[in-house]
């Protein structure tokens, strides 16, 4: 039996609507596989497809003049937005103008039809649906690990390549148990801070709703909550490439060995404005944006006692570091650490203090000797 919730979620799925209207081979393979996993989905897909096609053909029992008027208003608003002069920022058009106007018009028709069924759009549901779709596609040939942070505190995640991720509350992250030989891919919904282990031969990709972030090794934050009107990629160190999943050059941008597209450097951010369907590049000039301690931490130490060093790491990464304070009381370090993942920082600190570490029950346990 088809439920209203299932019907609503399918209608709100951007990928499903694109498949219904355009019928490309790549989407065909995905939706055929999705139906094959549960034969009961066949009727759901057939009904949802018929409904969307009927709206596109204007056969829904709504006043056609009213529909036409709403579409014209939407197109006019989009044109006005295009003429807006934006100073001191760089704007990259995501899709051609004629496609943008049609997308706006089509979305008005879909929303009108959906309202006929008393469907309430919920941004967070859309966000999670896209994340689920991305993860499901990745699971076709790979086993994924999913980390969910439902607590109030941030959660530290160590990836197979040694990269570190600080996952914020109400966020999810999925990644492969073993990354591919030529690339590393993770899937995010929510907010997280990334410290990516450097490896130019294996680019690191983060798929966060509409955006793709590509790096070779750096540190940055992604904020991609469904309830927010914008998606942000904020760079702390290094260089980051950002583009949309619907970019006509997305495949080329992914496969290029260099960072191309909209390239960000330290203290720059990319803002994807969902309503305007555009990607904006700007300077990070609002301290409120940087909310995690780690985003403002430089990790520079000059003869700093080890207790203070561990205290800074605990606060920045939201982890517990356990060690014998009496044994290591005379230990201190002088170092300028950058965007290395947390575990690389720990390896370096342990090497100069003749200590070692292990991770157990969410804690980092340091075993060391007295320093002279």
- pLDDT tens for residues 250-284? 888 888 878 878 898 887 889 998 888 889 988 77
When pLDDT is averaged across residues 294-311 and rounded to a whole number, the result is 82
| Torsion angle of C-alpha atoms 206, 207, 212, 218, degrees rounded to 10 | -10
User: Are 310 and 271 members of one domain?
Assistant: no
**Do 162 and 247 have their domain in common?**
yes
In sequence order, the 6+-apart residues with CB closer than 8 A to the CB of 278 are 91, 92, 93, 94, 272
- What 3-state DSSP class applies to 39? coil
- pLDDT greater at residue 12 or residue 196: 196
| Pick from 8-17, 71-80, 211-220, 230-239: least confident | 71-80
Q: Considering its fold, how many domains does the chain have in total? A: 3
Q: Which of 238, 254, 289 is the last residue of a domain?
A: 289
Q: How confident is the model at residue 147 (pLDDT cuts 50, 70, 90)?
A: very high
| 205 against 66, higher pLDDT | 205
Distance CA 308, CA 306 (A): 5
Q: Would you say residue 372 lies in a domain?
A: no
- Lowest mean pLDDT of 14-18, 217-221, 236-240, name the range: 14-18
Give the H or E element holding residue 105.
helix 97-116
DSSP per residue, 245-305: TT-TTHHHHHH-SS--SEEE-TTEEEEEETTTTEEEEEE---GGG--SHHHH---EEEEEE
- The number of residues making up the chain comes to 372
Nearest to 199 by CA among 142, 251, 238, 250: 238
Same-domain check for residues 41 and 81: yes
pLDDT at 118 over 70: no
Q: How far apart are CA 368 and CA 357, in angstroms?
A: 9
Note whether residue 91 is domain-resident: no
What the block records as the tokens of 257 is 């060995």
Range of the domain at 283: 124-289
Going by the DSSP 8-state scheme, the letter that residue 57 receives in this structure is: T
Residue 173 covered by a domain: yes
- Predicted confidence (pLDDT) at residue 92 exceeds the cutoff of 50: no
Q: Are residues 113 and 206 in the same domain?
A: no
Q: What is the pLDDT of residue 89?
A: 42
């Amino acid at each position: 039996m088809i439920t209203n919730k299932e019907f609503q979620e399918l209608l709100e799925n951007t990928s499903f609507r694109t498949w219904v209207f355009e019928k490309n081979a790549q989407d065909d393979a995905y939706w055929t596989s999705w139906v094959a996993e549960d034969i009961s989905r066949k009727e759901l897909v057939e009904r949802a497809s018929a409904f969307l096609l009927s709206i596109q053909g204007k056969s829904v029992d709504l006043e056609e003049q009213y529909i036409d008027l709403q579409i014209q208003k939407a197109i006019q608003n989009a044109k006005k937005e295009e003429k807006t002069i934006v100073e001191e920022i760089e704007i990259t058009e995501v899709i051609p103008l004629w496609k943008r106007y049609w997308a706006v018009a089509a979305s008005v028709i879909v929303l009108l039809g959906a309202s006929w069924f008393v469907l309430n759009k919920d941004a967070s549901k859309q966000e999670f649906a896209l994340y689920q779709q991305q993860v499901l596609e990745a699971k076709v040939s790979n086993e994924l690990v999913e980390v969910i942070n439902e607590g109030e505190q941030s959660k530290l995640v160590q990836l197979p390549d040694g990269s570190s991720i600080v996952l914020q509350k109400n966020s999810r992250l999925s990644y492969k148990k073993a990354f591919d030989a030529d690339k590393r891919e993770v899937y995010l919904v929510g907010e997280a801070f990334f410290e990516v282990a450097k490896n130019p031969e294996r680019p690191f990709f983060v798929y966060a709703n509409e955006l793709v972030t590509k790096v070779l090794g750096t540190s940055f934050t992604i904020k991609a909550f469904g309830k927010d009107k914008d998606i942000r990629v904020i760079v702390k160190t290094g260089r980051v490439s950002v583009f949309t999943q619907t970019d006509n050059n997305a495949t080329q941008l992914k496969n290029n060995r260099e960072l191309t597209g909209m390239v960000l450097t330290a203290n720059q951010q990319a803002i994807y404005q969902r309503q305007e369907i555009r990607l904006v590049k700007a300077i990070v000039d609002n301290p409120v944006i940087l909310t995690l301690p780690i985003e403002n931490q430089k990790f520079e130490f000059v003869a700093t006692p080890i207790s203070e060093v561990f205290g800074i790491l605990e606060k920045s990464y939201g982890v517990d570091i356990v060690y014998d304070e009496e044994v290591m009381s005379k230990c201190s370090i002088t170092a300028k650490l950058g965007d290395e993942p947390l575990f690389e920082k720990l390896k370096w600190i342990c090497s100069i203090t003749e200590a070692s570490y292990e991770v157990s029950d969410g804690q980092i346990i340091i075993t060391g000797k007295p320093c002279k």
